[in-house]
């Protein structure tokens, strides 16, 4: 098909392949996983100002299973808050020069072979074009 784009018919390509004893075909596939933005919304009908919950950070591993993450939202300074299927909140600290506000529309990541999102390995992509490495993960536990 790509051969036909240069003004040649696909039958000419087939003739070329039939008369060639050796040829290579390359098939590539990329899977991109999107974590939609989850805005922080006030409870309906509530007009009074409630205090934001206070969280303690706990260490977790250096990798997360990508299929557990369902949403993301910008966190304070240079971090993203990831929400898991189990309704856990995980803070991903971004590398130097990355700002969380660039991820206002969600985050993208290319699926790795092992299905994990890992520190110092994978890049988070934003719709603004930003690409950021993750420095560390922390589990946020309410006080």
How far apart, in whole angstroms, are the C-alpha atoms of residue 29 and residue 111? 11
Calculate the average pLDDT of the chain: 79
If you average pLDDT over residues 116-137, what whole number do you get?
91
pTM as predicted: 0.67
Q: Residue range 54-61: average pLDDT?
A: 93
- Position 40 scores a pLDDT of 52
Q: How far apart are CA 34 and CA 67, in angstroms?
A: 11
User: Residue 62 in contact with residue 135, Cβ under 8 Å?
Assistant: no
């Amino acid at each position: 098909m790509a051969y036909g784009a240069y003004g040649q018919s696909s039958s000419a390509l087939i003739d070329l392949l039939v008369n060639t004893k050796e040829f290579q075909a390359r098939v590539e596939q990329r899977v991109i996983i999107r974590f939609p933005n989850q805005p922080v919304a006030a409870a309906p009908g509530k007009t009074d100002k409630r205090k934001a919950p206070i969280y303690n950070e706990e260490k977790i591993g250096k990798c997360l299973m990508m299929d557990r993450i369902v949403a993301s939202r910008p966190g304070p300074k240079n971090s993203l808050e990831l929400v898991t299927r189990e309704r856990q909140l995980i803070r991903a600290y971004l590398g130097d020069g990355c700002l969380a506000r660039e991820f206002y529309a969600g985050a993208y990541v290319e699926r790795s072979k092992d299905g994990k999102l890992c520190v110092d390995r994978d890049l988070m992509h934003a719709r603004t074009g930003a690409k950021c490495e993750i420095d560390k993960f922390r589990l946020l536990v309410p006080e």
